[in-house]
Amino acid sequence: MICHEYGNPASRRILIQPVDARDLDGMESEAAAIAALAGPDFRLIAVKIADWNRELSPWEAPAVFGREAFGGQAENTLAELLPLCAGENRRCFIGGYSLAGLFALWAVCQTDAFAGAAAASPSVWFPGFADFVKSRGVRCGRVYLSLGDREEKTRNPVMAAVGDRVRELSAWLSAQGTDCVLEWNPGNHFRDPELRTAKAFAWLLRRELTHEP
């Protein structure tokens, strides 16, 4: 597991984000945006994922674009990440973009190690995922969800369900008493991923600071 760190190394507010090689190019910009939106008191740990579809998917599923299926190895990935939360008086948050956002939502259904999930444009079209969340529930107090306003406008019938699924999850989480927000961003899935992820983490940090319900 290769980690890249940004922000304040002494902070007890830990942001954990699975990333791929392309994401790393924008991490400095993301960290700067988080600081501008929520202040500098955070330690952002970007964990490089070698095989995105295999290591971040919660269970096996067929490919929905290209030929690469989903390998269902999220449990192993979570086990590697949890030691990053070890230590007294730490407040840890899990988040990410696209499939990493889905992983973050799945992770807070599995463990109470995280105070919140920052799911920016998460792949909640993933087969069976919304039903899974509703059957398990989340074990954290806060969840940020976002989507681009053009993401559901796709010819792929599986991925076109993303808008309905994110609305469904947002409404269900709020009804369960989770502090949840759904934010819509302009553009498709590939627009401003660093800024969208920064906004997701910053929302969690601001809510933490103000102790809002």
- Judge residue 58's burial from the number of C-beta atoms within 10 Å of its C-beta, 0-12 exposed, 13-18 middle, 19 or more buried: buried
Residue 18: what pLDDT? 98
Q: What CATH number matches the domain at 2-210, 3.40.50.1820, 3.40.190.10, 3.60.21.10, 3.30.360.10?
A: 3.40.50.1820
User: Is 146 in contact with 121 (CB distance < 8 Å)?
Assistant: yes
Alpha helices in the chain (DSSP H): 21-24, 27-38, 52-55, 74-81, 99-110, 129-136, 162-175, 193-210
Round to whole Å and give the CA distance between 190 and 121.
Answer: 9
Q: Other C-beta atoms within 10 Å of 109: how many? A: 18
**Phi and psi angles of residue 121, each rounded to the nearest 5 degrees, phi first:** 45, 50
Taking alpha carbons only, the member of 113, 87, 185 closest to residue 144 is 185
- How far the first Cα of the chain sits from its last, in Å, is 35
User: Is 112 in contact with 139 (CB distance < 8 Å)?
Assistant: yes
Task: Please tell me what DSSP assigns to residue 158.
Answer: T
pLDDT in tens, the chain (213 residues): 899 999 999 999 999 999 999 999 999 999 999 999 999 999 999 999 999 999 999 999 988 877 788 899 999 999 999 999 988 889 999 999 999 999 999 999 999 999 999 999 999 999 999 999 999 999 999 999 999 989 888 888 888 889 899 999 999 999 999 999 999 999 888 899 999 999 999 999 999 877 644
